[in-house]
Amino acid sequence: MSEARRIVVKVGSSSLTTASGGLDADRVDALVDVLAKSRSGGEREIVLVSSGAIAAGLAPLGLRRRPRDLARQQAAASVGQGLLVARYTASFARYGVRVGQVLLTSDDMSRRAHHRNASRTLDKLLAMGAFPIVNENDTVATDEIRFGDNDRLAALVAHLVHADLLVLLSDVDGVYDGDPSKPGTSRIAEVHGPEDLAHVDIGSAGKAGVGTGGMVTKVEAARIAAAAGIPVVLTSAVHAADALSGGDTGTYFHSTGKRSGGRLLWLQHASTPQGALTLDDGAVRAVVERRKSLLPAGIAAVEGEFSAGDPVELRDTRGQAVARGLVNFDAKEIPRLIGRSTRELARELGAEYEREVVHRDDLVILR
């Protein structure tokens, strides 16, 4: 851990707020102290993924608690994001460090151009000595508001920037083998793979009431990162300094897999298919066994209202999902392509129809 050169640190809403729910300047400063010092030798690069926008936006909008409806949560995030970054800007200024705000959605991880641009911007910010602070772009995407308080986003960002370590900070100092408030439970110091947690009940909701993640999404994010070759430390924000210096804190997830293409990681773990294509048996074999692209000739049916670029499920004729991919056509274009050869389509409809329905580079096999 102490040797990690590029680190993504994720902090949850509950670690940045006061008991009444507003942004807690002292807690922000304490975190920034740790981050700025850990980076100060110049050998280390850190990207911060910070939640807290909704929490910061509540009081200024006269809301006494987190609203239930998504639109007001998004409005709160819109007001709060500016305040959150202003707070970080002032806090990092104490160290003469500039911050750069990067708002992302997990969709951005799949679209080739967005992925490339996000990765380039983050690299450039780091190269120029600025401190990137990422949050979900809550106005347009609500995945993390609903499911995870930025946990999954942090795993995808860690992959995007080729991090050597992901540190997930929250209000709990690790994964426990039972309810941490009860005697006799102990912290699980290391996880070598999913089997190590098979017997553990991870629980559900976030405790503090301002975040949404809880332990489940953190462990899931840790698994995504570990499976993509990035080790993870899951601990509480008060132990951030220990986590960054390699101290014995929290739960350490050893990496369990090798790095894979970033967009594909998103496709497999974080995308919601917008429709489905049913493949004939030959196409299933071509896609699954021979790792070929999906051509119009192999499609038997289409379902859903997707647009070109959206994730879709590829199914066999029994309805079983066999793969997931980014589709190159809108749903309404597909019926007239079904079962026909690309050459025939090009002749009849124009050269732009001589392409795969799902390119092999945009596919993950699910079985």
Residues that bind ligand GLU (CB under 6 A): 13, 51-54, 77, 135-136, 138, 144-145, 149-150, 211-212
Minimum CB distance to ligand GLU smaller for 39 or for 66 = 66
- Rounded to an integer, what distance in angstroms lies between the CA atom of residue 223 and that of residue 213? 15
Sign of CA dihedral 53, 59, 60, 66: positive
Minimum CB distance to ligand GLU smaller for 15 or for 38 = 15
Asked if 8 contacts 158 with a C-beta cutoff of 8 angstroms, the reply is yes
Distance in Å, CB of 319 to ligand GLU, minimum: 34
Minimum CB distance to ligand GLU smaller for 211 or for 273 = 211
Distance in Å, CB of 87 to ligand GLU, minimum: 13
Minimum CB distance to ligand GLU smaller for 149 or for 164 = 149
Q: Is 33 exposed, middle or buried (0-12, 13-18, 19+ CB in 10 A)?
A: middle
Minimum CB distance to ligand GLU smaller for 83 or for 364 = 83
Distance in Å, CB of 128 to ligand GLU, minimum: 25
Distance in Å, CB of 98 to ligand GLU, minimum: 21
Length of the chain: 367
Distance in Å, CB of 181 to ligand GLU, minimum: 23
DSSP secondary structure code for residue 222 in this structure: H
Walk across the sheet containing 321-327 and list its strands: 299-304, 275-279, 311-315, 321-327, 358-365
Asked if 197 contacts 175 with a C-beta cutoff of 8 angstroms, the reply is yes
The DSSP annotation for 116-164 comes to: HHHHHHHHHHHHTT-EEEEEE-TTT--HHHHHTTTHHHHHHHHHHTT-S
Distance in Å, CB of 101 to ligand GLU, minimum: 12
Distance in Å, CB of 154 to ligand GLU, minimum: 11
Minimum CB distance to ligand GLU smaller for 4 or for 104 = 104
Tokens of residue 109, six digits: 């991880």
Distance in Å, CB of 209 to ligand GLU, minimum: 10
Minimum CB distance to ligand GLU smaller for 10 or for 115 = 10
Torsion, Cα of 276, 118, 66, 217 (10° steps): 60
Paired strand residues for 133? 48, 101
- Rounded to an integer, what distance in angstroms lies between the CA atom of residue 51 and that of residue 49? 7
Minimum CB distance to ligand GLU smaller for 105 or for 278 = 105
Sign of CA dihedral 116, 121, 124, 130: negative
Minimum CB distance to ligand GLU smaller for 210 or for 244 = 210
DSSP secondary structure code for residue 122 in this structure: H
- Helices 262-269 and 151-160: angle between axes, nearest 10 degrees: 160
Distance in Å, CB of 48 to ligand GLU, minimum: 12
- Rounded to an integer, what distance in angstroms lies between the CA atom of residue 97 and that of residue 108? 27
Distance in Å, CB of 116 to ligand GLU, minimum: 23
- Rounded to an integer, what distance in angstroms lies between the CA atom of residue 170 and that of residue 218? 9
Dmax (CA) for the chain in angstroms is 73
Asked if 23 contacts 55 with a C-beta cutoff of 8 angstroms, the reply is yes
Minimum CB distance to ligand GLU smaller for 59 or for 145 = 145
